[in-house]
Amino acid sequence: AQSVTQPDIHITVSEGASLELRCNYSYGATPYLFWYVQSPGQGLQLLLKYFSGDTLVQGIKGFEAEFKRSQSSFNLRKPSVHWSDAAEYFCPPDKLIFGTGTRLQVFP
């Protein structure tokens, strides 16, 4: 069965610091992987997606993610976090199933 784990429920970083949000998956075949962001009280926005091909995926808002089959991971990264990046981030294993997400707080 498809499953995804976001090990970090809550992460706090300083503005300007680098960011990495973890996403580990368990699949039999090559997965379709997504990262979404949800700002407080808002709907979700697709940041980036991986279907196949280049394992380093560039997304919107300066985010990128790298698919590493050997580590069963699809971690989200950003070199310099902005205060507006504070939100909830989801890496669902399937288009329909969302886990608990990772809440990002950014301090000035």
Cα–Cα dist 98/21, whole Å? 15
Q: Counting contacts by CB under 8 A, is residue 60 touching other proteins?
A: no
Among 41, 54, 70, 108, binds other proteins (CB under 8 A): 41
Cα–Cα dist 51/37, whole Å? 19
Give the torsion sign (CA, 78, 81, 83, 88). Answer: positive
- Kindly state the number of chain residues that form the binding site for other proteins, as judged by CB under 8 A: 18
Cα–Cα dist 29/2, whole Å? 9
Q: Which is nearer to other proteins, 28 or 41 (CB)?
A: 41
Q: Counting contacts by CB under 8 A, is residue 50 touching other proteins?
A: no
> Where on the chain is the footprint of other proteins (CB under 8 A)?
34, 36, 41-46, 49, 51, 90, 95-101
